[in-house]
């Protein structure tokens, strides 16, 4: 089920990220060796009193370095108005009411979305500092201190009280969900139409709620799938190009989070862009399997080296996910589209693969023989035992003498050894290192 989306809107420095990090029970995992990928912690799952929701810091969505603050906040507001179920407007109580607070409140009020007003930096219960903010006509201002923290519970109560629907953890729609993400014009709609067309039976088409993607169930090879097309809404909204790009990102993130596998579409004409890399990085960080679909292959001038050159470029840009699987297609001519669903099935098989403890430990033993574990501070890492604890993504626990002794590079080496022996292409795998003395 789609969880309600809460967007935090506010000027720079009012304390959005501080609030966000406080509230965010489970930090979005950040991969250590991927500089330039999505480090911005902008999206998080949260839970309050049994209500599950997704929270986005729209301020963190600013992918440009230009400090156009004024414009930025209206962009944030626009995104929140279009996508969020509840908007949390944050202002700075220490600084007091400023004119742009009034402008943004007026702008937000035009939408029919519920708005909760949080006055941050009220560190010592100076409630009087919030009085001025009644002028924003957004109801009661909640005095909070994200830094302390104080008052966060009341503000969250107000947020969840506005949810029209409640989603419990573990609620799941039937069908294997395939998200199609990528920049505007990469060819997502064209591909969706092609996948849903022809031999496959479209069961019915459910228009998404106002805010985002269209989910279409279909059957393939005797199984139920749901295609999540993230292209739809842009076509209705007359907004500038920059905002369009942001929309595509936020929709992509949401679709990725609730998908089982992701098709990352790249326009072969334009080559892989920074934004494509960010989206792929997010998919990787969310531990979702994926296919890199290089589209518009029909218009690329090709010789016998072209594919290799593209592969090399992808390997360079996607080096944090060396397991990626590329497909070169044309949604227009249909070239190689017949490979997509079989590849989806293959990668789903990989991500759901279990290997026996015996096989796994053979692989690890072999790896240790070829390359000895590192010594740190005079102590050598010893790997006692490994076992696979879950699938999608395949997750392995390594029991060692002291988890602090494992280096990232050695962990990467072990991952590569596992991948050389077992087909986990297209899917991330996780290695969890535990010291022998760890309790669980
Ligand atoms: P953002 O730009 O809106 O995300 O703001 P940040 O979360 O980065 O915070 C901006 C500055 O305000 C930082 O120096 C924070 O430490 C500070 N700050 C955030 N919340 C509070 C608060 O509740 N009280 C005080 N005194 N400072 C805060
Ligand atoms: P979306 O914004 O990602 O949904 O992209 P669309 O599916 O709307 O496609 C954008 C444009 O690219 C349209 O004009 C399509 O006809 C065109 N297009 C899509 N796929 C291909 C392709 O494989 N080859 C070529 N030449 N054009 C394509």
Beta bridge partners of 224: 219
**Ligand 1 close to Cβ of residue 18 (< 6 A):** yes
- Cβ-in-10-Å burial (0-12, 13-18, 19+) of 371 comes to exposed
Model pLDDT, residue 328: 97
Q: 3-class SS at 211?
A: coil
Q: Which two tokens stand for residue 401?
A: 């003498």
E-only strand ranges, 382-424: 383-390, 395-400
Alpha helices in 141-225 (DSSP H): 152-161, 188-196
Helix (H) or strand (E) holding 43: strand 43-48
pLDDT at residue number 245: 60
Which ligand is nearest the CA of 229, by number?
2
Task: Give the pLDDT confidence score for residue 48 in this predicted structure.
Answer: 82
pLDDT at res. 64: 44
Pick left, alpha or beta for residue 192 (phi over 0 → left; psi -120 to 50 → alpha; otherwise beta). Answer: alpha
Close Cβ partners of 276 (under 8 Å, ≥ 6 residues apart): 182, 183, 264, 266, 317
pLDDT tens, residue order, the chain (440 aa): 567 888 888 888 888 888 877 776 443 332 223 333 333 446 677 778 778 888 877 765 544 444 444 556 677 777 777 778 899 999 999 999 999 899 889 988 888 889 999 999 999 999 999 999 999 999 999 999 998 889 988 999 999 999 876 665 555 667 899 999 888 788 888 898 888 875 343 433 333 333 345 677 888 898 989 888 776 444 444 445 555 566 666 777 878 988 999 999 999 988 888 888 988 998 999 999 999 999 999 999 989 999 999 999 999 999 999 999 999 999 999 999 999 999 999 999 999 999 999 999 999 999 999 999 989 888 999 998 899 999 999 999 998 998 888 888 999 999 999 999 999 999 999 999 988 764 44
Count of CB atoms situated within 10 Å of the CB of 88: 28
* Residue pointed to by tokens 């909070």: 144
100 CB within 6 A, ligand 1 = no
Determine the residue of 18, 72, 146 to mutate for testing ligand 1's pocket, defined as the one with the most ligand atoms within 8 A of the Cβ atom.
18
DSSP string for residues in 296-308: -GGGS---TTHHH
- Which residue, 304, 347, 306, 341, is CA-closest to 324? 347
C-beta neighbour count of 400 within 10 angstroms? 20
Give residue 39's pLDDT: 38
187 CA from centroid of ligand 2 (Å)? 4
User: Residue 339 contacts by C-beta under 8 Å, 6 or more apart in sequence?
Assistant: 327, 329
Atom of ligand 2 nearest to the CA of 333: 23
* C-alpha gyration radius of the chain: 24
CB–CB of 91/10 below 8 Å?
A: yes
Q: Is 6 helix (H, G, I), strand (E, B) or coil?
A: strand
114 touches ligand 2 (CB under 6 Å): no
Residues 117, 140: Cα–Cα separation, whole Å: 7
**CA separation, residue 222 to residues 110, 215, 219, 258, 343 (Å):** 47, 19, 6, 22, 16
DSSP-assigned beta bridge partners for residue 43: 56
Whole-prediction pTM: 0.65
Q: Which ligand is nearest to the CA of 337?
A: 2
Phi, psi of 46 (to 5 degrees): -135, 160
What are the angstrom distances between the C-alpha of 435 and each of 377, 399, 407? 17, 6, 14
pLDDT of residue 214: 66
* 3 state DSSP class of 313: helix
What pLDDT, on a 0 to 100 scale, did the predictor assign at position 192?
86
Contact between residue 119 and residue 142 where contact means Cβ atoms under 8 Å apart? yes
The token pair that represents 203 in the structure block: 């069961």
The single residue listed with the structure tokens 């010291």 is 435
């Amino acid at each position: 089920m789609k969880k309600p989306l809460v967007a935090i809107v506010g000027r720079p420095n009012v304390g959005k990220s501080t609030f966000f990090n406080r509230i965010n029970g489970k930090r979005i995992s950040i991969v250590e060796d991927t500089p330039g990928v999505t480090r911005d912690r902008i999206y998080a799952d949260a839970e309050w009193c049994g209500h599950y929701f997704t929270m986005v810091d729209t301020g963190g969505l600013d992918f440009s370095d230009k400090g156009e603050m004024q414009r930025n906040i209206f962009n944030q507001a626009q995104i929140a108005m279009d996508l969020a179920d509840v908007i949390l407007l944050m202002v700075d109580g220490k600084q007091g009411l400023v004119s742009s607070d009034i402008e943004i409140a007026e702008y937000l009020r035009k939408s029919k979305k519920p708005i909760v007003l949080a006055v941050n930096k009220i560190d010592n219960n100076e409630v009087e500092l919030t009085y001025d903010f009644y002028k924003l006509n957004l109801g009661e201002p909640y005095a909070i201190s994200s830094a302390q923290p104080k008052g966060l519970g009341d503000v969250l109560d107000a947020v969840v009280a506005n949810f029209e629907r409640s989603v419990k953890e573990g609620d799941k729609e039937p069908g294997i969900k395939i998200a199609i993400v990528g920049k505007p014009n990469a060819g997502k709609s064209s591909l969706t139409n092609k996948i849903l067309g022809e031999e496959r039976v479209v069961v019915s088409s459910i228009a998404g709620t106002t805010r985002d993607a269209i989910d279409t169930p279909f059957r393939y090879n005797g199984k139920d799938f749901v295609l999540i097309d993230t292209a739809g809404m842009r076509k209705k909204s007359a907004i500038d190009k920059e905002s369009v790009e942001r929309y595509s990102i936020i929709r992509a993130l949401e679709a990725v989070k609730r998908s089982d596998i992701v098709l990352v579409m790249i326009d072969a004409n334009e080559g892989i862009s920074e934004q494509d890399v960010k989206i792929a990085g997010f998919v990787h960080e969310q531990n979702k399997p994926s296919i890199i679909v290089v589209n518009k292959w029909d218009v690329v001038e090709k010789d016998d080296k072209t594919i290799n050159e593209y592969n090399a470029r992808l390997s360079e840009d996607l080096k944090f996910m060396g397991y990626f699987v590329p497909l070169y297609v044309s949604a227009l001519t249909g070239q190689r589209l017949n490979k997509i669903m079989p590849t989806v099935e293959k990668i789903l098989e990989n991500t759901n693969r279990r290997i026996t403890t015996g096989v796994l430990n053979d692989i690890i033993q072999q790896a240790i023989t070829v390359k000895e574990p590192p010594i740190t501070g005079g102590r050598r890492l010893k790997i006692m035992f490994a076992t696979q604890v879950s699938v999608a993504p395949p997750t392995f626990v390594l029991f060692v003498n002291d988890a602090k002794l494992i280096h990232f590079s050695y962990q990467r080496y072990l991952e590569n050894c596992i991948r050389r022996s077992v087909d986990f292409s297209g899917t991330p795998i996780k290695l969890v290192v535990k010291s022998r003395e760890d309790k669980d």
